[in-house]
Amino acid sequence: MTTTDAVVVGADLGTSGLKLAALDDAGLVVAESEAAYDVDRPRPGWAQTAVEVWLRALDDARTALVHRLGGRPVAALGLSGQMHGAVLVDAAGAALAPALLWPDQRATAELQRWRELPAGDRAALANPLAAGMTGPLLAWLAAHEPGLVARAATVLLPKDAVRAALVPGADPAVTDRSDASATLLWDVPRERWSAAATAAAGVDAGLLPAVRPGHEVVGTTGLLGGDTPVVVGGADTPLALLAAGTGRGVQVNLGSGAQLLRPRVAPAPAADPVVHCFADAEDGWYAMAALQNAGTAWSWVGGVLGLDWAGLAGSLAASPLGAGGVSFAPFLTGERGGVAGPGARGSWTGLSAGTTRADLARAALEGVVCAVAAGLDLLGPGDDELVVLTGGGARDPGVQQLLADVLGRPVQHVQVRSASAAGAAVLAARGVGLDLVPQRVGDPVVEPREQAAAAVVRERWAART
């Protein structure tokens, strides 16, 4: 950036909260704010949020951020958002109904339409099938809410619906390639909407938005004072990857869930893939194996055992590697396939009269790490050696050592504050011709130590049933 006083702001629209981060010209996060909200679950398996809820959270977070900035000008705004989902809007960009979100399972039956696609058309989507992706959700809406679909001018991804509300007068029917590629409506090799998948969704192709570069300015907003340029933005995972600067190797983001990412892959048709192939925030692609149950499983275990995070992590010193023969399956809410299926559930196995609370806690830590290792196996061999760790779940040195041991590779935790929001700020800066590199702090590299014992833990975990 060239103006030392100005900042750029990134907004990250998460599933349960919205975060704003302002970065200065040195890439330092100088102010942050956030606001939480609940996911509406009106029926079992449904997950939705009214766009108005997001906008209220944005306004609350904005008020706090502007106060903390103390009058510093904002050069540009970028948006990051949870992936998948579907928001039907009118020609002005106003939402016609609540946004359907990625955890939503109402379209499970509609996935059969994708299974019945001609082999070439199915392979061109190059992604596993998931009910919470935009295409299947659109198919459900077309079947169950045809009047609503008929009134809609376009379908947007979550961050696009928020952006449309911020820039009145601009064309709302816009998304970016990182979000488009995660809809089950995108032809990956050809980089365009799939006519066959759109037909499977039962909607007209005109309902799909135009795909623009993430750094393209689409209009201005008065949200942060003055007329602030707003760029298209991108999906949260590739923007976190952009902010972390891990353009090569493999990255493990360990938070509520876990995302296992290999950047710079070559997109290709895949008939029945076990990992995702998504567009990144620039002009490349990344492979991803995802786990829904990581930090959420640890939180559940901590609640059951009466342990806070320090107590849970402390079990690594109180119980030896292998947890006294106990294994833990972390799949409390099922999985998306690959490592485990939707019907998988959590369990402790190998219990004995001598099992201690520390064993149960350590087994939970080992179980998630073993699932991460299984996910990395799905990504296949690569020329990378170091595993870059991001996310709050990997901050503890004991967890870092456990990961190094079980993965059998050196690991390094890289800290980037508000990574997805920082990635959105990078796009915003590019949109107005500024250069921004978020500040990153790398912890010491942790080498594997107990590889033989860790291999036994992995084998027992894989054979736990």
- Distances in whole angstroms, Cα of residue 76 to Cα of each of 12, 225, 429: 14, 11, 6
pLDDT in tens, 121-139: 999 999 999 899 999 999 9
Strands (E), 152-211: 154-156, 174-175, 186-187, 192-193, 210-211
pLDDT for residue 188 is more than 60? yes
The angle at the Cα of 84, spanning 77 to 431, to the nearest 5 degrees, equals 20
**pLDDT value of residue 2:** 47
**Annotation: CATH topology of 7-232:** Nucleotidyltransferase; domain 5 (3.30.420)
pLDDT for residue 1 is more than 50? no
- The secondary structure of residue 205, as a DSSP letter, is G
CATH of 237-465, one of 3.30.420.40, 3.40.190.290, 3.40.1160.10, 1.25.40.10: 3.30.420.40
**Average pLDDT of the chain to the nearest whole number:** 93
- Per-domain residue ranges for the chain? 7-232, 237-465
pLDDT in tens, 350-409: 999 999 999 999 999 999 999 999 999 999 877 668 899 988 889 999 999 999 999 999
Which token pair is 439?
Answer: 């500040």
pLDDT in tens, 194-215: 999 999 999 999 999 999 999 9
pLDDT in tens, 32-54: 999 999 999 999 989 999 999 99
Q: Count Cα atoms within 13 angstroms, Cβ side, for 323.
A: 30
Instruction: Provide the percentage of residues in the chain whose pLDDT is more than 70.
Output: 98
Among 87, 281, 82, 107, CA closest to 165: 87
Give the whole-angstrom CA distance, residue 230 versus residue 168. 11
CB 404 within 8 A of CB 221: no
